[in-house]
Amino acid sequence: MYGVVSVSPRIVEPLIALSIGYVAIENIFLSELKSWRIALVFAFGLLHGMVSRSTERTGAAALEFVTALITFNVGVEVAQLAVIGAAFLLLDGTARIASGTACVSSFPCPR
């Protein structure tokens, strides 16, 4: 709106991917939230906001922007559900094999 910050999407979009990866790794390896997490979330929020601002600058029509935003978010949610489903099946199968209750040809069911 005021043109205070203008960064190319070619720079911002990879930074967003890195920020998402960083938070994912942090969530895996840290068991408790640190006090600096609020500042990090704020900074990442500003970074993510730059993409929507740069999209506005490219002249995308409002309807195209909303459609792209909705389809992107739906795609992200579907991908998350697919990863969770695959992880569940893998862990469930591993647990069944480890406990001896898997019923497959190489691991017969206990009688």
Q: Dump pLDDT digits (tens) for 23-82.
A: 888 888 887 878 888 888 888 888 777 766 555 555 556 677 778 778 888 888 999 999
Flag whether the pTM goes above 0.85: no
Task: For residue 83, name the pLDDT band (cuts at 50, 70, 90).
Answer: very high
Give me the count of residues in the chain.
Answer: 111
Q: How far is CA 15 from CA 31, 43, 51, 57, in A?
A: 25, 11, 10, 19
Has residue 108 got a pLDDT over 70? no
Q: Which of 40 and 109 is assigned the larger pLDDT?
A: 40
